[in-house]
Amino acid sequence: MRDARDFLHGAGFGAARLEPLTADASFRRYARLHGGPRPALLMDAPPPEDVRPFLAIARHIAGIGLSAPDIIAANEAQGFLVLEDFGDATHAALLDAGADALPLYLEAAEALAALHAAPPPTGLPPWDATRMVETAAATFLDWWWPAAMGSTADAGTRTALDAAIRAMLAPFADAGGFVHRDYFPANLMRLDGRDGARRTGLLDFQDAAIGHPAYDLVSLVEDARRDVEPAIRTAAIARYLDARGDVDRDAFAAAMATCAAQRHLRVAALWVRLDRRDGKPHYLAHGPRCWRLLGQALQHPATRLLRDFLDARVPPALRGNPVALTEPA
């Protein structure tokens, strides 16, 4: 973590002791500040991170009556923020400790419905077919493919993947709204003392965009990092749809399947990039789950075009972590 003493002094936290927290898959680093005027965290987001989207979305979330960390101090140029400390009770930590999963997923679904029901802020980037193709190709073709196939993906494969994902997503292109993009238990907090949708604190929303809201619900109930019981998945979807009463449920289910297919393909290959580029092989443990979830999504008729692409180019036996990354040394 970089030297933030001058920034912390100016923010009134000059005497605080820093307790580094566990790093995530990004370049951001966090430290808990002990001994300051209020419970707080330091976010250190060096380039290529940019704190301005985080600041804008935090203010939007607070403005619509939901829970995002208060911004106590900010230096946008240096990439330092002092944020309200929500504590340690992420939904992921509670689940890992054995908490009843159903209330947490229902609370998360309620907060997500409120987040999606509000008009989105201006200036968000698109999370549309173009970006979804780009991000899928950047992991699946640029990292998974050479690791699994032993060669780079040719132009025909790239063109075919582009066409398949674009056509698969095309029926849902007009349903854009706020999309968090990383809405899963590690980024959600249980905030005791707050009611309703405000009981769920929202984190890591800096990549928010304009896209189909089904993407966020998929992120929650088809989590790339943990298994979700089918009954809990069903209950959370029902809670979300009940709260969004005007949603066409059949169309939403189809949109969920297409968003799931793109997300699981992209993330299954993302673990390979984190291993090979970033030296984080432990993420490969999530690969089998993502490939299994992808297989489930490909059973829906709305995902037929991506299924046809994979059937033509990726034999089922190869649909997993590349063998070279999973064989014992």
pLDDT tens for each residue of 46-66: 988 999 999 999 999 999 999
What's the mean per-residue pLDDT of the chain? 95
Q: With 60 as the cut, is the pLDDT of residue 320 above it?
A: yes
Structure confidence at residue 327 (pLDDT) = 46
Q: With 90 as the cut, is the pLDDT of residue 26 above it?
A: no
Q: With 50 as the cut, is the pLDDT of residue 246 above it?
A: yes
Collapse the DSSP code of 69 into the 3-class scheme (helix H, G, I; strand E, B; otherwise coil) and give the result.
coil
Q: Which of 60, 84, 108 is the last residue in one of the domains?
A: 84
Residue 212 DSSP class: -
My answer on whether 64 and 205 are in the same domain is no
pLDDT tens for each residue of 159-209: 999 999 999 999 999 878 999 999 999 999 999 999 999 999 999 999 999
Mean pLDDT across the stretch 5-30? 89
* CA dist., res. 251 & res. 189, Å (int): 30
Q: With 50 as the cut, is the pLDDT of residue 329 above it?
A: no
My answer on whether 115 and 230 are in the same domain is yes
Peptide bond into 39 cis (omega under 30): no
Q: With 50 as the cut, is the pLDDT of residue 328 above it?
A: no
pLDDT tens for each residue of 67-92: 999 999 999 999 999 999 999 999 99
The domain that contains 35 carries what CATH number? 3.30.200.20
What DSSP letter does each residue of 85-140 carry, written as one string?
---S-BHHHHHHTT--HHHHHHHHHHHHHHHHHSPPPTTPPB-SHHHHHHHHIIII
C-alpha to C-alpha distances, 287 to 52, 57, 71, 100, 219, nearest whole angstrom: 32, 30, 35, 26, 15
Q: With 60 as the cut, is the pLDDT of residue 326 above it?
A: no
My answer on whether 17 and 141 are in the same domain is no
The domain that contains 186 carries what CATH number? 3.90.1200.10
Mean pLDDT across the stretch 302-329? 86
Structure confidence at residue 325 (pLDDT) = 55
C-alpha to C-alpha distances, 303 to 1, 107, 191, 295, 300, nearest whole angstrom: 43, 29, 37, 10, 6
Give the count of domains, the chain.
2
State which residues form the domain around 51: 5-84
Structure confidence at residue 134 (pLDDT) = 98
My answer on whether 72 and 106 are in the same domain is no
